[in-house]
Structure 1
Amino acid sequence: MPTVRHQLSLNENFAPPLPGVREAIVHAADRVNLTLDAMSSGLTSAIAEHVGLDSSEVFVGPGSGALLQQFLATFAGGGEIVHAWPSFEMYPLLVRCAGAEPVAVPLRDDAHDLDAMADAVTDRTKIVLLCNPNNPTGTTFREDELRAFLSRLPSGVRVLIDEAYADFADPSAIADGIRLAAEDPRVSVVRTFSKSHGLLGLRVGYLVADEAVVTALTPGSYFFRVSTVAQDAALAALRAEGVMRKQCAEVAAERDRVHDGFTELGLDVPRSHGNFHWLRFGEANDDFVRLCDESGVQVRTLADGAGVRVTVGSAEANDLVLELTRRFLSGDRAGTARPDSA
């Protein structure tokens, strides 16, 4: 098997840990034998201050995936969950694990078709699940579009917005979900420290919602706790906001450079606001993945042959991806260097 030189299949953040994070982890290691802040009240308060809300409107959990599952398990009620497709591959599984039925609404122009999603709502719909920016397309919806969508929903339908990649997006191109959650009790927003804050290996996320939603979720937190080490690292990451913003801007600049490279090669690639790109080669998706693998670049196909998602990596990795794409499109798929054969 070829040696993996560039792991671009997991949407990891390749920037170094934020200032203070390593020191916080080392310090926390001396206290892992103690209970300390088992319910993350300190981290909850810090996040609430950071987003300008009360602590009663913030719920902390071990990553956004766990929070999504907790929310669905609490509020799905055996009904239907409307979501866009393609979107985060785990949505259908999470919905079914919550005892509900996923209702997938196809994208329009590679983005959420909010009108069609509103049309898909029935008296069985409990939740509409939105992903902004959408994974894998990287597309966004703006605040005016979201407000128009909310105006069409029945009062009893909840809206959960997954903003895992929001910090990489142009603020003018994306709805402020947290502001809408503060205004509308139907709206909840889930975010993660895994992407922009670089804490993927520690699993920390938070949900912003109406106090009644947080109260309903709280009993589950006894079984979905955030570790002492992860709490301290997240607190340090919050204090490094300026550096985090700078790193995200650097990722975005590299992302846009790579996008221009893809379009110059003739590919129709959506303008991404995440830290990844979505390539579509149809029946040749797997062939492209194999070509990348032969050069030590790991990318991945998505469910149902929807395309190939490629994380924005280092400049070296991204240049290699562009070169491999050029070869693939030109039919020159032989002679690819094999790192393990040197």
Structure 2
Amino acid sequence: MADAAGRMNRYPDMAAVDLRERIAAHLAVTTEEVAVGPGSVGVLQQIITGLCDAGDEVVFAWRSFEAYPILVELAGARPVRVPLDAAEGHDLDAMAAAVTERTRVILLCTPNNPTGVPISHRRLEAFLQSVRSDILVVIDEAYVEYADAGSGPDSLALYRRYPNVCLRTFSKAYGLAGLRVGYAIATPAIAEGLRRTALPFAVSALAQKAAVASLDAEEEMAARVAAVRQERARMAAELAAQGWKLQPSQGNFLWIRADEDLRARLVDAFDAAGILVRAYQGDGVRITVADSASNNRVLRLLAANAA
């Protein structure tokens, strides 16, 4: 990154060839199947704006990634929110029932943000079999590196059988959130369309170089993820002992479902302690798993505010 910063007077490679080749080698796909953008949000915007006209519909679970309805409305389409099931995961039967003749895209976030609940391979494959072939199903795996093996789908295997899209990012486990670089694995025709509709030069030269270097530092990333998983398990066990009811999370965060009174009380307590959490009005609080000392502060605060 320091070396690349010395050449910031040059435009980045608009086609991001080096990065696409490195991603393709990493996931055993072809370069023609890779499209990149400014974070997974940027790639999502390319997908939605490229496929949706005014009045078209995009189906997604709710609560899920909060950018979904924003991106859908920016494209002039209609967001169709399908409530999560009792286990804080995707209600795939209800999502299938929400599909209409105007549905163009279905967004599936696994592990789900903010609840951390993944979609199993078996359930997702059954869902894909039930969806019309003209609907693009996007498997958004922004947090997949934190998931335990076998907890979620083998999205690349499903991609080989169905014309869907696997969407990932370097923002989370790779630690490059400030550089904005994400990617999609899609059929060559879809990936070509995404590249053609992308904002020119949207992924900076610095981001491209950093993403390649990050893929080359896989052992470092794996060690960082292992530490997060260990702390996640420790925090979940202690919070369960305190009486908090949590669903097992496969992200780098824990989700506390809370009514508005409890949510407001927790937010006030966290604010007073100088701890930043993500609160969702009417739904709950998402707490990022951090270093051990920071997590201990969170655990002490929640012990003092246990229902």
TM-score interval (norm. to shorter): over 0.9
How far is the alpha carbon of 1:257 from its aligned partner?
Answer: 0.7
**Counterpart pick for 1:42 among 3, 7, 18:** 18
Supply the distance in 2 between the matched residues of 1:271 and 1:142 (Cα, whole angstroms).
13
Write the distance in 2 (CA, Å) between the matches of 1:222 and 1:106: 33
- 1:255-303 deviation line (CA, Å, top 9, x unaligned): 111011111111111100000111123122022111111111111211x
Check whether the contact 2:11–2:201 (CA below 8 A) recurs between aligned residues: no
| 1:106 partnered with 2:69 | no
- Partner secondary structure for residue 171 of structure 1: coil
* Higher RCO, Cα 8 Å, sep 6+: 1
Distance 2:303 2:228 in 1: 22
Query: Amino acid of the residue matched to residue 146 of structure 1?
Result: L
1:104-139 C-alpha deviation (Å, 9 max, x unpaired): 111112100111111111111111110000001000
Which entry has the higher C-alpha Rg, 1 or 2? 1
- The structure 1 segments of at least 4 consecutive aligned residues displaced by more than 3 Å after TM superposition are none
1:327 aligns with 2:304: yes
TM-score when scaled to structure 2? 0.96
What letter corresponds to residue 278 of structure 2 in structure 1?
A: R
1:29 paired residue number: 5
Residue 224 of structure 1: how far off its partner (Å): 5.3
Pair 1:235-2:216 in alignment: no
Residue aligning to 2:294: 317
**Counterpart-to-counterpart distance in 2, 1:281 and 1:57:** 41
Query: How far apart are residue 220 of structure 1 and its match?
Result: 2.5
Residue 37 of structure 1 and its aligned partner are, at CA, apart by 2.3
1:36 Cα deviation after fit: 5.1
Uncovered stretches (5+) of structure 1, i.e. residues with no partner: 1-24, 331-342
Q: Distance in 2 between matches of 1:27 and 1:182?
A: 38
Kept in 1, the 8 Å contact 2:36–2:195? The answer is no
Give the structure-1-normalised TM-score: 0.86
Contact 1:188–1:209, Cα closer than 8 Å, also in 2: yes
**CA contact 1:39–1:221 (8 Å) conserved in 2:** no
User: Where in structure 2 are there 5+ consecutive unaligned residues?
Assistant: none
* Per-residue CA distance 1:10-63 (angstroms, 9 max, x = gap): xxxxxxxxxxxxxxx100011111235232111001101111001110001111
Select the residue among 125, 139, 160 that pairs with 1:161.
Answer: 139
SS of equivalent to 1:223: coil
Percent identity between the aligned chains?
43
Q: Which among 269, 274, 281 is matched to residue 246 of structure 2? A: 269
Matched, 1:305 2:290: no
Q: Secondary structure at the match of 2:194?
A: helix
User: Residue in 1 aligned with 2:116?
Assistant: 138
- State the alpha-carbon separation in 2 of the partners of residues 239 and 211 from structure 1: 25
Determine if contact 2:110/2:140 at 8 Å carries over to the other structure. yes
In structure 1, C-alpha distance between the alignment counterparts of 2:72 and 2:10, rounded to whole Å = 35
**Distance in 1 between residues matched to 2:118 and 2:243, nearest whole Å:** 23
Match of 1:65 in 2: 41
Give the number of equivalent residue pairs. Answer: 304
Q: Give the root-mean-square deviation of aligned CA atoms.
A: 1.2
Select which of 55, 66, 76 maps to 2:31. Answer: 55
Preserved CA contact (<8 Å) 1:61 1:226: yes
Task: Report the Cα distance in structure 2 between the residues aligned to 1:184 and 1:86, rounded to whole angstroms.
Answer: 26
The structure-2 alpha-carbon separation of the partners of 1:292 and 1:222, relative to structure 1 and needing over 3 Å to count, comes to: closer
Q: Distance in 2 between matches of 1:171 and 1:75?
A: 33
Of 255, 270, 273 in structure 2, the residue corresponding to residue 278 of structure 1 is 255
Are the counterparts in 1 of residues 258 and 283 from structure 2 also a CA contact under 8 Å? no
Q: Alpha-carbon deviation of 1:183? A: 2.6
